[in-house]
């Protein structure tokens, strides 16, 4: 499920193009206006805006964006403007040509998380753009079992449907055990064959069968029997089959954990997943780390870069405010704000209605103040249960 918020009344591509041209004019770009428009248009709408702009003003929109925006905000916006297969092709090309070494994170996380149909489009765009087959460039720039896995994964036809054969599931679980934990050394060919040929549904079932038969997950076996980029590739394929939202939540966590931020990684995941499953990634992030993703992004980024990312991923803010309790000014941003009055007779109903309608609201829940206003019968946990805590952003105390 996407977190992209598109206005109920959408201006025409021509109107948006005119507004963007005005934002570019004069001394300095009105970046906030650019973000307000482009961060709230889907893939088709963004494409039409670019076409309209280029027709009216005789210049490439992407070049104008590159000229007007700077730093990480420019990198994120430029990537956002591309269609998904073009975007993936550019990410993979840059990863393969990265110096002093190949960016295996970008390469693995992009290729091993895509469906067979997405990979077909990626290969088509890559070939037409760079006049070189993707598998040839992977052959020339990677090595070892990681190379073999990537090439097998992008060249092997794979079923995408939900059906599976229980007998084949049991057989593959047994084959993987024999190829790994049962023997001295690892038979990497068997792992590559099964992981590149079998569907996500099948691999999910194999993972369960493996745990039932051998007492622990297939993921644990992979970590034990393989290492490096090869292990990362196998784990990416398996995790994207079993729980893709959690897989990307973990990548986002790694991109912001510790000193410094891995901005390229953060941008890549946010931009490529916003229109696919960012809603579920945010929930997975909160469940795993006990902190909303928006909090992490807010603390690790700044300026227009931060504003752009938050506009893509923020979907729900909650505000509980009271008579005489007005300390919520610092929350007020460019986002649409929906306020719920604390004096409402149907406070819980109002909150639930706002949450279900996915309106953007700002949060300031303070349990003690709630009880002062609402009385001892106020059930703070009951109210919070009515909304998706993973999408709460700013808390004012």
Confidence tier at 291 by pLDDT (50, 70, 90): confident
Residue 70 covered by a domain: yes
Confidence tier at 26 by pLDDT (50, 70, 90): confident
Does 371 score more than 50 pLDDT? no
Residue 357 covered by a domain: yes
Q: In angstroms, what is the C-alpha Rg of the chain?
A: 24
Q: Are 226 and 235 a contacting pair, CB within 8 Å? A: no
C-alpha to C-alpha distance for 110 and 269, rounded to whole angstroms? 9
Which residue segment(s) compose the domain that 351 sits in?
316-391
Confidence tier at 1 by pLDDT (50, 70, 90): confident
The domain tally of the chain equals 2
Confidence tier at 355 by pLDDT (50, 70, 90): very low
Cβ within 8 Å of residue 205, ≥6 positions away: 164, 166, 169
Does 29 score more than 80 pLDDT? yes
Does 329 score more than 80 pLDDT? no
Residue 396 covered by a domain: no
No. of helices (H) and no. of strands (E), the chain: 23, 2
The average pLDDT across 368-391 equals 50
DSSP structural state of residue 12: P
Confidence tier at 35 by pLDDT (50, 70, 90): very high
Residue found by looking up tokens 């966590």 in the block: 253
Does 397 score more than 50 pLDDT? no
Residue where a domain terminates, one of 21, 54, 78: 78
Using a cut of 0.95, tell me whether the model's pTM lies above it. no
The pLDDT value recorded for residue 389 is 56
Tell me which of 64 and 1 has the higher pLDDT. Answer: 64
The pLDDT value recorded for residue 268 is 98
Tell me which of 368 and 312 has the higher pLDDT. Answer: 312
Residue 162 covered by a domain: no
Residue 65 covered by a domain: yes
The pLDDT value recorded for residue 393 is 55
Of 383, 388, 381, the closest CA to residue 360 belongs to 388
The average pLDDT across 27-37 equals 94
Residue 18 covered by a domain: yes
Residue where a domain terminates, one of 31, 49, 78: 78
The average pLDDT across 151-171 equals 95
Residue where a domain terminates, one of 29, 61, 78: 78
Does 376 score more than 60 pLDDT? no
315-354 in b/e form (b: 16+ CB < 10 A) is bbbbbbbbeeeeebeebebebeebebebeeeebeebbeeb
Residue 327 covered by a domain: yes
Residue 373 covered by a domain: yes
Q: Which helix (H) or strand (E) holds 271?
A: helix 263-273
Report the CATH number at residue 51.
1.10.220.10
The pLDDT value recorded for residue 64 is 97
């Amino acid at each position: 499920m996407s977190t992209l918020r598109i206005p109920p009344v959408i201006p025409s591509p021509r109107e948006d193009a005119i507004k963007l041209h005005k934002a570019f004019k004069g001394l300095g770009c009105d970046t906030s206006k650019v973000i307000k428009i482009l961060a709230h248009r889907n893939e088709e709408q963004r494409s039409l805006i670019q076409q309209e702009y280029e027709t009216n003003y005789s210049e490439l929109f992407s070049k104008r964006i590159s000229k007007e925006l700077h730093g990480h905000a420019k990198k994120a916006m430029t990537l956002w403007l591309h269609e998904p297969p073009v975007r993936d092709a550019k990410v993979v090309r840059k990863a393969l040509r990265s110096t002093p070494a190949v960016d295996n994170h970008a390469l693995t996380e992009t290729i091993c998380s895509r469906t067979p149909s997405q990979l077909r489009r990626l290969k088509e765009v890559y070939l037409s753009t760079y006049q070189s087959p993707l598998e040839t460039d992977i052959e020339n720039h990677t090595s070892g079992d990681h190379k073999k896995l990537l090439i097998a994964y992008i060249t092997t036809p794979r079923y995408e449907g939900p059906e599976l054969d229980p007998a084949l599931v049991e057989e593959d679980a047994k084959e993987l055990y024999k190829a790994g934990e049962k023997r001295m050394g690892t038979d990497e060919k068997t792992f590559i064959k099964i992981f590149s040929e079998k569907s996500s549904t099948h691999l999910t079932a194999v993972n369960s069968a493996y745990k039932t038969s051998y007492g622990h997950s297939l993921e644990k076996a992979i970590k034990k029997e393989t290492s490096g980029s090869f292990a990362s590739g196998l784990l990416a394929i398996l995790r994207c089959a079993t729980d893709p939202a959690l897989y990307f939540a973990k990548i986002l966590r790694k991109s912001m954990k510790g000193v410094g931020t891995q901005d390229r990684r953060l941008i890549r995941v946010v931009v490529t997943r916003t229109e696919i499953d960012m809603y579920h990634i945010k929930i997975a992030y909160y469940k795993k780390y006990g902190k909303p993703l928006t909090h992490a992004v807010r603390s690790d980024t700044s300026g227009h870069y931060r504003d752009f990312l938050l506009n893509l991923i923020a979907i729900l803010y909650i505000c509980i405010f009271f008579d005489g309790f007005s300390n919520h000014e610092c929350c007020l941003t460019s986002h649409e704000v929906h306020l719920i009055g604390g004096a409402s007779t149907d406070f819980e109903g109002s909150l639930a209605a706002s949450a279900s309608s996915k309106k953007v609201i700002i949060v300031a829940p303070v349990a003690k103040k709630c009880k002062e206003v609402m009385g001892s019968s106020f059930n703070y946990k009951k109210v919070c249960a009515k909304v998706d805590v993973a999408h709460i952003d700013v808390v004012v105390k």
